[in-house]
Chain A
Amino acid sequence: MIDVRDVSRVYHRGADEVHALEHVSLFIERGRFVALMGPSGSGKSTLLNLIAGLDRPSGGVVEVAGQRLGDLGEDELARFRARHVGFVFQFFNLIPVLDARGNVELPLLLTKLGRAERRARADTALRVVGLAERADHKPSELSGGEQQRVAIARAIVTDPEIVVADEPTGDLDAKNAVEILALLRDLAREFGKTVVMVTHDPRGEAFVDEIHHLDKGVLRDTVAGGAGGGGA
């Protein structure tokens, strides 16, 4: 499903070269809930961006859902993200002028669906995350946990194979963090989504199938999470 082979990512900051990732290889099977962990600057967000098609590698191959992302142009990458990837961010990043339903409906504007069908699918996604009754509320009228649920509904409304989450519990209290982790786990178990999460949150370890530790741009080890049965 996700095949990262010998991937490097080098940034140029002025005259300096920053090696964010160095020769990382990784394979994630469909329907797995995977955590990328490591200290700040370890390259986990860079790896997530490469898997999500937000960035291109400097070397190596990133193959997701059968597509080599390094070969795609900007517009093709945008289409790839729209079709195959759902995003969950640390700070929810909902559009403040749209209500919950409007936010969830947003990715569907890129499809050919009619207005009624878009609305119906957005309501279904909000039901999945337990927020059907809050559909008409603006983000400012929702709690942090509720906003993150709306963001998850937005991530799954197009039925993508992959959901990427960058520090999804980073801005939540303990109770909401656990609920969000459980929701992401359910997306993998019950809906067959491949969920890749960057996190510092140690509570996440209990929910994921596998954990990949990175440090200084290098993949150090892969271990089984609390929900998984295997490791490497």
Chain B
Amino acid sequence: MKFLPFVWRQLVRNKLRTALTAGAIGLAVALVCLLLTMPAGMNALLADVASNTRIVVHNEAGLVYPLPYAYLQKIRSQPGVVAAASWTWFGGAFREEKGVEFPNFAVEPDPLGVVWEDWNMDPQALADFRRYRDAAIVGRGTLLKNDWKIGDTVTLKGTIWPVDLRFRIVGEIPSERAPHFWFQREYLDQALRAAGLGGLDFMGTAWVRVDDPARVGPVMRDIDAMFRNSEAITASETEKSYFANFFSMLEGFVTIILIVTGLVALCIVFIAANTASMAVRERIGEIAVLKALGFSRRLIFGTLLAEAVLLAGVGGLLGALFSLVITRVIHAQAEGWSPALGPLGSFIVTETILVQGLFLALFVGMLSGVVPAFGAARRSVAATLREVF
């Protein structure tokens, strides 16, 4: 510890270089800390979004393949099923040039309040949705994004079918993270018939409310068993698993980002090593003098390594604290979700991640300092004095 002031003085002798190197290390550590929040953040997001009694049934071949609409009635008749509703993708664009900006589905109006009971939709809005053929219920996120309000009339241009549908907004899904745009299935069915395209005899997915969380597994097995030998085999999964599948694509992206981050961290090691090498090269004469005074090789190695570790440690600590503060601020602002910040509020730098970031910084410091420190420590003092002076 008595060498710490000496090490610190050496570290701050070139303040600009020290600050820039610490900044580079800090930035890399902050980046790594932020990325480390993603797996836990996504889990938290899923747990928040998904119900434990809601399941989704889709074609085993994939989400883009439809299911016969007749399946819905059979699903509703299964023991344990409280209610079921279908989603059929319309793919309507509000601004044609921007394409589909929010998911819009044709649904049955009657079971909505039961299947999505936990979404606390206004009973009056649900009643109006049932009453008006052209009614739409829209997620608050999409309402805010488009500056719509209840009572507005909007037209969506079909991007799959050649029909444009005009809607009156009668209610909202009271969650800012809800992007949905729901309208009556019958409305789309009639529009397609009027256009000579035949009616809707299929659905995209079926959403099912089960009476007991403990029965979710058996109900899923029963539904899939029922259609095992049918024209379209079903695959049932919990809502959490369904969203997780979407996120899994994102996880692949996260993996790529983590690999890139690893490479960035490696670059930072090289930058820090270069800084350490420059610092040692500049002071090779001083180091020889210290050796002449009796500083052992081990001590020279230790003080130089401590310098590199201290620099990386300070930079890393600042970076980790920066990531902690920024995620806490976003969390406080967004309260988990906001239209402007999306799901960012769910990603929190925990104490564990903070410690991981700090250890990464110390590791970078050790890795970057060990070679120059070793080289300086093993140089012959007499030869160096002869060379330098």
Contacts and interface: CB of A to CB of B under 8 A. Distances in A.
B188 to A, nearest CB: 77
Interface string A77-111: 01111110101011101011110001000110110
Contact of B295 (A78, A85, A166): A78
Chain B contact surface mostly: helix
A56 to B, nearest CB: 9
Nearest to A45: B386
Contacts of A227: none
A55 B386 CA distance: 12
A90 B2 contact: no
Contacts of A74: 296-297
Tell me if A's interface is mostly helix, strand, loop or mixed: helix
A131 interface: no
Contacts of A109: 2-3, 6
Interface stretch (B121-129, B240-248, B285-293, B324-332): B285-293
Interface residues of B, number: 26
A93 B294 contact: no
B294 A110 contact: yes
Given A90-B389, A93-B389, A78 B294 contact: yes
A95 B289 CA distance: 9
Contacts of B298: 75
Contacts, number: 69
Contacts of B318: none
A124 interface: no
B382 interface: yes
B98 interface: no
Contact of B382 (A54, A75, A82): A54
A83 B294 contact: yes
Contacts of B291: 78
A78 B297 contact: yes
A177 B291 CA distance: 26
Given A54-B385, A93-B286, A109-B6, A81 B297 contact: no
B9 interface: yes
Interface in A154-209: 154, 166
Contacts of A95: 286, 289
Given A54-B381, A75-B298, A90-B389, A97 B9 contact: yes
B95 to A, nearest CB: 63
Interface of A: 45, 49, 52, 54-55, 74-75, 78-83, 85, 87, 89-91, 93, 95-98, 102, 106-107, 109-110, 115, 154, 166
Given A85-B294, A97-B10, 20 more contacts: A45-B386, A49-B385, A52-B292, A54-B292, A54-B381, A54-B385, A55-B382, A78-B296, A78-B297, A79-B294, A87-B289, A87-B293, A95-B286, A95-B289, A97-B13, A102-B6, A107-B293, A107-B294, A110-B299, A154-B293
Interface of B: 2-3, 6, 9-10, 12-13, 285-286, 289-299, 380-382, 385-386, 389
